Structure 1
Amino acid sequence: MTIGSRIAWDDTVLPFQLDRSDIRGRVARLDGVLDRVLEQHDYPPAIEALVAEMTLLTALIGQTLKLRWKLSLQVRGDGPARLIATDYYAPKQDGTPAQIRAYASYDDTRPLEGKPFELIGKGYFAILIDQGKGTTPYQGITPIAGGSLSQCAETYFAQSEQIPTRFELRFGHSTGVDHEGWRAGAIMLQAMPKASIPTPPENSEAEPQLLSADDILDGEEGENWQRANILLDTVEELEMVGPLVQPTELLVRLFNEERPRVFDAQPVEFGCTCSPDKVRQSLSIYSARDIGHMTTEEGTVTADCQFCGAHYVFDPKTLGFEAAEAPGDTA
């Protein structure tokens, strides 16, 4: 097998369906995308792992939804890892790549050791969907739960969408002869329930309980779900991240008896939508006096994009609601 054939599936999301089980899913391979996301910042290893996991989740969830514009995932906590934010931009045309960007904000004055997920502390996991102009953005929030970002996402789908969902993720930094950089693979399973969803009593004084797949599925649907998950439990790390096992081959290895059927793969790339105009718009609410407080000793106003690291320099006279007409900025 040549190197070219080994990396043919890098930075793709492959949709599939298990016809026997009535379960849909996605297989993701993100390699160059993770390299681009993580090279923008010198994150500590624990924060790097959280960003990598969140990026994989975003690729899987974004491709599942029929997006016209943007999906955002956010995790906010009271621990050292204060914020992890990702954006998935839907392809502008069929056959073109979707775009992903991600970054994290953390408190480097506090210890950043131990299990990455524990650095988040108490907080919430949020999914935001923006379908563009003329639509109302959707936001769903669930508390931080479980022992990983993947389990937070599973809880969100069970609680907010009543859709049993499973994520299996593997990632790491490779130093192989033919590849040096991040290799990452992930599988997502979703069952579309047909049974009625249980609802808690209206006057219950008990603490609210988060739903799980066991609360949503029963009977044959529950058996199908359990069987598919048992098969997914057998996956090995090298099968997930590649490059020797292609996603189509992986599906046959795992789910051959479930009759897997694949659809067109979606390419994914790193991309950022920042621009001088967007920075200028975000500063348009400030007065000339406010802009003066932001001006450096060199007589300019600067801004940095947290996602891609772009550095912008503006003439302060062109900023705020009292701005002059002529722009004077550089990037």
Structure 2
Amino acid sequence: MKNSDTFQRFLFEDMGIRGELVRLDASWQAVLQRHTYPPNVSRQLGQALVAVTLLSGTIKFKGALIIQVQSRGPLHTLVVQATHRQTIRGLAHWHDPVPAGALSEVFGEGRLVLTIQNEGAEPYQGVVALEGQCLSAALENYFANSEQLATRLWLFADGQRAAGLFLQVLPAQAHADDDWTRLVTLADTVTEHEMLHLPFEDLLYRLYHEEKVRLFEAEPVVFRCSCSRQRIEDMLLALGKADVEAIIAEKGLVEVDCDFCNKRYQFDRVDIGALFSEEIKSTPSSTRH
């Protein structure tokens, strides 16, 4: 299918307004294959993955953008990540049953956290209340309150694909309010079927054939988990030798599962002994000569 696993920017010439399109196919299926999600959970997760991919295209960074929802309702944890290389991953935790409906019904009382992890810099974090009819509304509230940028998102997901459309006023560029209102009104007519199935060129023509639109080169999006044995070893070292050896004494080995990709890492007594032995060797001596 054309535009499968694709991120693509576009620009309204002479308006100071930009847009983005995303469609996830194999990358979305890779997430679904690792956990069995109820439909009402997978729909929210798919929309969140589209959102984090769209938003990652609005900032210049080298690292990762994370959207996290923490709440007290049926769907109590939702975490999605996109990197500057357009790799994505995500997961959700829930208590059955998860209803369909507004955010207050699906998530309950909660908050939405956006984190930018820029390599070589302290993470930047923005927090907004989880309010609105849908996830796109909560994200739009974030931009209105934190960034003071007019922003709209349209997010869709089913069991096969996830897709989305993004519009935003460019920072520090002049635009007419009538232009913004017209573009948003036209985007509000987009249907789920069009977003999930129409080629991007056809979709933009359907919505904006009377506008001057520049469509930029498409970029591929892939599922990729950043977990590794080295990262798990670092986590165990941070946990400390006494606690890790207590786990070994009780269970005979240490098992760590990655929630994102379901990969299991196992460490037996020999592995743990070698791990902490290497730590001792690599610790510089404090003795002065």
TM-score by length of 1: 0.78
Quick one: which of 62, 67, 86 aligns to 2:61? 67
Quick one: which of 247, 272, 291 aligns to 2:225? 272
Alignment correspondent of 1:257: 210
**1:281 and 2:234 correspond:** yes
**1:125 and 2:112 correspond:** yes
* Per-residue Cα deviation, 1:179-224 (whole angstroms, up to 9, x for no partner): xxx12221000013659xxxxxxxxxxxxxxxxxxxxx9xx63211
Amino acid at match of 1:9: N
**1:78 and 2:66 correspond:** no
Alignment correspondent of 2:132: 146
Alignment correspondent of 2:100: 114
Amino acid at match of 1:225: W
**1:28 and 2:22 correspond:** yes
Paired-residue identity, %: 33
Higher percent of residues as helix: 2
Quick one: which of 180, 183, 188 aligns to 1:228? 183
* Per-residue Cα deviation, 1:32-72 (whole angstroms, up to 9, x for no partner): 11101111101122111111111110111112222211111
Alignment correspondent of 2:81: 87
**Secondary structure at the residue paired with 1:53?**
helix
Quick one: which of 160, 170, 187 aligns to 2:146? 160
Amino acid at match of 1:189: L
User: Structure 1 residues 321, 288: CA separation in 2 closer, same or farther (over 3 Å shift)?
Assistant: farther
- Coordinate RMSD, CA, aligned: 2.2
**1:12 and 2:6 correspond:** yes
Describe how 1:171-250 pairs up with structure 2 within 5 A: 171-173=157-159, 182-192=160-170, 194=172, 221-242=176-197, 245-250=198-203
User: Structure 1 residues 291, 262: CA separation in 2 closer, same or farther (over 3 Å shift)?
Assistant: same
Alignment correspondent of 1:42: 36
Checking the alignment, whether the CA contact within 8 Å between 1:27 and 1:188 is kept in structure 2 is yes
**Secondary structure at the residue paired with 2:237?**
coil
Which structure 2 segments of 5+ residues have no match? 280-289
State how far apart, in whole Å, the 2-side matches of 1:149 and 1:56 are.
11
User: Structure 1 residues 154, 62: CA separation in 2 closer, same or farther (over 3 Å shift)?
Assistant: same
Checking the alignment, whether the CA contact within 8 Å between 1:20 and 1:258 is kept in structure 2 is no
**Secondary structure at the residue paired with 1:325?**
helix
TM-score by length of 2: 0.89
Quick one: which of 104, 107, 110 aligns to 2:92? 104
- What is the aligned length? 278
**Secondary structure at the residue paired with 1:36?**
helix
Amino acid at match of 1:286: L
Describe how 1:297-316 pairs up with structure 2 within 5 A: 299-316=252-269
Checking the alignment, whether the CA contact within 8 Å between 2:7 and 2:21 is kept in structure 1 is yes
State how far apart, in whole Å, the 1-side matches of 2:257 and 2:113 are.
25
Checking the alignment, whether the CA contact within 8 Å between 2:153 and 2:166 is kept in structure 1 is yes
Which structure 1 segments of 5+ residues have no match? 1-6, 92-97, 174-181, 196-216, 327-331
* Per-residue Cα deviation, 1:69-128 (whole angstroms, up to 9, x for no partner): 11111111111211100111112xxxxxx21000012234xx323327322111111111
State how far apart, in whole Å, the 2-side matches of 1:237 and 1:12 are.
17
**Secondary structure at the residue paired with 2:176?**
helix
**Secondary structure at the residue paired with 1:126?**
strand
Shift of 1:238: 2.1
User: Structure 1 residues 116, 323: CA separation in 2 closer, same or farther (over 3 Å shift)?
Assistant: farther
User: Structure 1 residues 286, 171: CA separation in 2 closer, same or farther (over 3 Å shift)?
Assistant: closer
State how far apart, in whole Å, the 2-side matches of 1:153 and 1:324 are.
47
Shift of 1:304: 0.3
Alignment correspondent of 2:283: none
Shift of 1:263: 0.9
Amino acid at match of 1:137: P
User: Structure 1 residues 279, 255: CA separation in 2 closer, same or farther (over 3 Å shift)?
Assistant: same
Shift of 1:22: 2.1
**Secondary structure at the residue paired with 2:165?**
strand
